[in-house]
Amino acid sequence: MKAGVRTGFLAAGALLLGLPGAAGAHGMVPGDLAPLEPGRVIAVMERDFLVPEGFRRLPGPVYYLSHGKALGLSRLQKERIRAIARTIMPETVRQGREIERLKKRVVRLSDGRKPLKEAELRRLLERIGEKEAMADLVHIRAHRACLHLLTPAQRARLFALLAHS
């Protein structure tokens, strides 16, 4: 079984622990994003998708906003990054809930109470992998969209910040 799926069984419960406004690898979540459930988004990203170290090098909108002062973001840049966050964060939460639901089915099918239906289990694991991959892609697109908004000097500051994370 792939490592992401194995750790995902434990991660499903961890998804529920994320709290809006919490600090994580991405810093403090801006208050105006609280309605988008950013704590859950960060919990999903850090525990359920890709490799957590990947997200430290490929930050999403929350990282950019929480480090806005250090990056020297303008008001317009912040508005555009918030728009990116408002687009991807609800989708990430939705994807995380769907992945969590599928993983619970995997556990029920695997716990030994019923005969093993390997073909069904394999299909579920493949669906989980596809959904996790799509969520990773959405995150990478958001990172690149935010990165595109930065000046060369701001990019240099960003990469310096990431090197010390």
Q: Which residue has the higher pLDDT, 30 or 109?
A: 109
Answer yes or no: are the C-beta atoms of 82 and 61 closer than 8 Å: yes
Query: Any residues with CB less than 8 A from the CB of 48 and at least 6 apart, and which?
Result: 8, 11, 12, 15, 96, 99, 100, 132, 135
- Average pLDDT of the residues in 19-46: 54
**Single pTM value for the model:** 0.65
- pLDDT of 22 > 50? The answer is no
For the chain, first and last CA: distance in Å?
Answer: 31
**For residue 148, what pLDDT is reported?**
97
- pLDDT of 8 > 50? The answer is no
pLDDT band (50, 70, 90) for residue 147: very high
pLDDT band (50, 70, 90) for residue 39: low
Average pLDDT value for the chain: 76
Domain ranges of the chain: 3-163
- Average pLDDT of the residues in 82-110: 89
pLDDT band (50, 70, 90) for residue 92: confident
- pLDDT of 139 > 60? The answer is yes
- pLDDT of 109 > 70? The answer is yes
Sign of the dihedral defined by the CA atoms of residues 24, 55, 46, 81, in that order: positive
Q: How far lies 101's CA from each of 45, 83, 107, 128, in Å?
A: 16, 28, 10, 10
Q: Which of 133, 128, 110, 121 is nearest to 12 (CA)?
A: 128
**For residue 48, what pLDDT is reported?**
55
- pLDDT of 16 > 50? The answer is no
